[in-house]
Structure 1
């Protein structure tokens, strides 16, 4: 859990840095608003995960049978 917390902190910091760098170049090219909003979204998502103390996503096994293992015998 400690590792997941650190990943979320760095995700938030990286999002803020992308947001700030994109705002610097926004006057020269308005298209830089897209990475700015992406960075802001990264920062909010990381902050939300830290605030709610959410863990890493769980991997779910498929309920479908593996058809590659079955072979028809002739």
Structure 2
């Protein structure tokens, strides 16, 4: 869980850096608004995960049947 917390902190910091660096070049090229909003979204999502203390997403293991065991006997 501590590792997940660190990942979210770095995600937020990276998002803020992308946001600020995109705003610097925004006057030269208005298309830089897209990465700025992406960075803001990254920072918001990481901050929300930190605030709510959410853990990593759970992975579901599929229940696959082994067809080799169920071969027809001849």
Q: TM-score range by the shorter chain?
A: 0.7 to 0.9
Write out per-residue CA displacement over residues 4-23 of structure 1, whole angstroms, 9 at most, x where no aligned residue.
10100000000000000000
The residue aligned with 1:70 is: 67
> Could you tell me the TM-score, scaled by structure 2's length?
0.85
**Structure 2 residue ranges without an equivalent (≥5):** none
- Stretches of structure 1 that go unaligned for 5 or more consecutive residues are none
CA distance in 1, matches of 2:8, 2:27: 30
Match of 2:10 in 1: 10
Aligned residue pairs, count: 71
Structure 1: which 4+ aligned runs deviate by more than 3 Å? 71-74
TM-score by length of 1: 0.85
RMSD: 1.6
- Take 1:61 and 1:10, find their aligned partners in 2: how far apart are those partners? 29
